[in-house]
Chains A and B, each alone.
Chain A
Amino acid sequence: MSKHLIDFIDISKSYDGSLVLDELNLYIRENEFLTLLGPSGCGKTTTLRLLGGFETPDQGRILFDGEDITNLPANERKLNTVFQKYSLFPHMSIAENIAFGLKISKKSKAYINDKIKYALKLVNLDGFENRSVDSLSGGQQQRIAIARAIVNEPKVLLLDEPLGALDLKLRQNMQYELMRLKEELGITFVYVTHDQEEALTMSDTIVVMNQGYIQQIGTPEMIYNEPENAFVADFIGHSNIIDGVMLDDRLVEILGVKMPCVDEGFGKNKPVDVVIRPEDVELVDPADGYMEGDVTSLIFKGVHYELDVMANGYEWLVHTTKHVPVGTHVGIRVTPFNIQIMHKPESSDEKAVEIDE
């Protein structure tokens, strides 16, 4: 793909003695939609704030286009941020808000007016120039915040959980809008969220973080289908994560049952974590399955039913479109391709794994 635009080199940061980022290494390519994904407190927002220039790292360097910007103040960086709480200037009109950055860079009046019109059109809010900030809904305010950032033509747009405060329907609409914007502007987006669905929908690359460490970097498909460890698997949607033993290449034993799979090279009789997505569990006749069990709960979720099936002492999470009443005796089957084998984390207390690219 294209060249590195931003490099984080050995970045560490702590607040009040507690380490938030520990020797983080990460690069961001030009024109990529990169998402930092993780639970709260994982260091994703800190990473973004370091990039925006609102924090300085305790150690390490940040390169932008090959140039060291570690100690460059926020107002001199060629990137703009869309904040979590919109942060529009309440005493200014919408037009004044959008023009703020342009006025500072001393653009002509005609240019500024054109840009305001263009930006409002881009975020589907034409004619809002003279409205006051308070008269807008949350979704509209967020779109103005985006407009205010992009009129400055930054090379990188940073978005800090911009959709967090919006309701579900609006959030989904905004996801499509953001993807469209990304296409039209052709710039790099760095997006921070704790919402895995949002990350999977929009990103080119997802960086899964936990407790200051990067857990996995990859495309949405890679992260979803081949999680590197149990944390990633669990964070990206609920999964069945089961202790297992890799008996041989392409043969794993879980819950006392041998199952064929497609993974190789783990060695013989090696303990592993086995991930099976709930939608990959097939419910069949008791006689045809690897193991037998009983349905213990059934919840209607709209697109599918969410079932709990107790089998061989493990409560399986199953997504299916069939209606299977509670108490039904069923068999469980999984196609070899859908069984994902992962190494056990080496330290038991912290499942964080540092990955050096």
Chain B
Amino acid sequence: MVKKCASRLYMFLIFLFLYLPIIVLIILSFNNSKTRVVWGGFTLDWYKSCFQDEKIMSAFLTTIQITFLSAILSTLIGTLAAIGISAMKKRQQTIYLGATNIPLLNADIVTGISMMLLFVKFMDLGFVTVLVAHITFSIPYVILNVLPKLKACNRSTYEAALDLGASPLYAFYKVTWPEIRPGVFSGFMMAITMSLDDFSITYFTKGPGVNTLSTMLYTELKKGIKPELYALSTILFFAVLFILLLGNVLPQKKAQRALSKQQKDL
């Protein structure tokens, strides 16, 4: 009993330590007072003015565009890359996987600076460069999510489809795709969170005038902390949380449903 209590307490402390800063942020976003030390009552004013602030809204719009465009494109490229890699021989596979994983292991700041150096040589920094940068660092996450699914799905089922008269494209769509779909989906979700989350690479590759939420927050913070930013941060936190839950819970629910359907069949 005592042991159980102690272990619970320990767990509670760990979670408190992890989430206390965010809880403070969330509370402050509802605080009707300009200072951080006094509780001036509950208010939604900061949220309201946050949505009325032009700077914030334009950054928000850019973020949404970058996030979804980069997630969609990197999912497409990453999935195709995973299919290609899975068809390679062992040695080649190791080499290519190592190469695609470099952006994953590299320090963000190094990736950011090197991309900036490359981009300024050929074009002006701006929306497009940020988008390309985001696609680049999202691709390895997609590959890492799709590849295990491809490996798990037996290559001979694809061959069986061909054998039964299916064209390669039809066989992929009918047989391989349903098997790797959960992996592609979680890869997409991962790409969204990574893109939404990124600061340093965006910071180096964005030109003047282009701001995502994270870089906008950073420049605003330098000028002094506005309570609207608490509200914005809270929204960002919940948005990412929601997407993560969606990515983790949905596939599980689906698996459960498939399982219970099977049991009914039996």
Q: Which residues of B contact A (CB under 8 A)?
A: 154, 156-157, 159-168, 170-171, 174-175, 178-179, 261-262, 265-266
Look across to chain A and name the residue whose beta carbon is closest to the beta carbon of B159: A54
- Chain A residues with Cβ under 8 A from B261's Cβ? 132
Contact present for B163 and A75 (CB under 8 Å):
yes
List 17 extra interface pairs beyond A81-B163, A149-B164, CB under 8 A.
A52-B159, A52-B163, A53-B163, A75-B165, A80-B163, A87-B160, A88-B157, A90-B179, A100-B161, A101-B165, A104-B165, A104-B170, A130-B265, A131-B265, A148-B160, A149-B163, A152-B164
A74 CA to B158 CA, complexed, in Å:
11
A89 CA to B161 CA, complexed, in Å:
9
Among B157, B164, B262, chain A packs the most CB atoms within 10 A around the CB of B164
Contact present for B164 and A101 (CB under 8 Å):
yes
A76 CA to B162 CA, complexed, in Å:
9
Chain A contributes a number of interface residues (CB within 8 A of B) equal to: 30
**A173 contacts chain B at the CB level, 8 A cutoff:** no
Look across to chain A and name the residue whose beta carbon is closest to the beta carbon of B259: A134
A217 CA to B81 CA, complexed, in Å:
46
Contact present for B262 and A132 (CB under 8 Å):
yes
Contact present for A75 and B162 (CB under 8 Å):
yes
Look across to chain B and name the residue whose beta carbon is closest to the beta carbon of A160: B156
- Chain A residues with Cβ under 8 A from B265's Cβ? 130-132, 135
Contact residue among A73, A91, A149 (Cβ-Cβ distance under 8 Å from B179): A91
- Chain A residues with Cβ under 8 A from B166's Cβ? 75, 100, 104
Contact present for A89 and B165 (CB under 8 Å):
no
Q: List 15 A-B contacts (CB under 8 A).
A: A52-B163, A53-B162, A53-B163, A75-B164, A75-B165, A75-B167, A80-B163, A81-B163, A85-B154, A87-B157, A87-B159, A87-B160, A89-B161, A104-B164, A152-B165
Do A91 and B178 form a contact, CB below 8 Å, given A132-B262, A134-B262?
A: yes
Contact present for B160 and A83 (CB under 8 Å):
yes
Do A105 and B156 form a contact, CB below 8 Å, given A132-B262, A134-B262, A135-B266?
A: no
Contact present for A105 and B159 (CB under 8 Å):
no
Look across to chain B and name the residue whose beta carbon is closest to the beta carbon of A104: B165
Do A74 and B154 form a contact, CB below 8 Å, given A91-B178, A130-B265, A135-B262?
A: no
- Chain B residues with Cβ under 8 A from A80's Cβ? 163-164
- Chain B residues with Cβ under 8 A from A88's Cβ? 157, 160
- Interface 1/0 per residue, A67-93 and B, CB below 8 Å: 000000111100011011101111100
Look across to chain B and name the residue whose beta carbon is closest to the beta carbon of A81: B163
- Chain A residues with Cβ under 8 A from B174's Cβ? 89, 100
- Chain A residues with Cβ under 8 A from B157's Cβ? 87-90
Do A85 and B262 form a contact, CB below 8 Å, given A75-B162, A152-B165?
A: no
How far apart are A18's CB and chain B's nearest CB, in angstroms?
14
For window 139-185 of A, CB contacts with B under 8 Å fall at: 145, 148-149, 152
A192 CA to B163 CA, complexed, in Å:
17
Look across to chain A and name the residue whose beta carbon is closest to the beta carbon of B160: A87
- Interface 1/0 per residue, A298-314 and B, CB below 8 Å: 00000000000000000
Contact present for A74 and B159 (CB under 8 Å):
yes
How far apart are A23's CB and chain B's nearest CB, in angstroms?
26
- Chain B residues with Cβ under 8 A from A130's Cβ? 265
How far apart are B153's CB and chain A's nearest CB, in angstroms?
8
A134 CA to B265 CA, complexed, in Å:
11
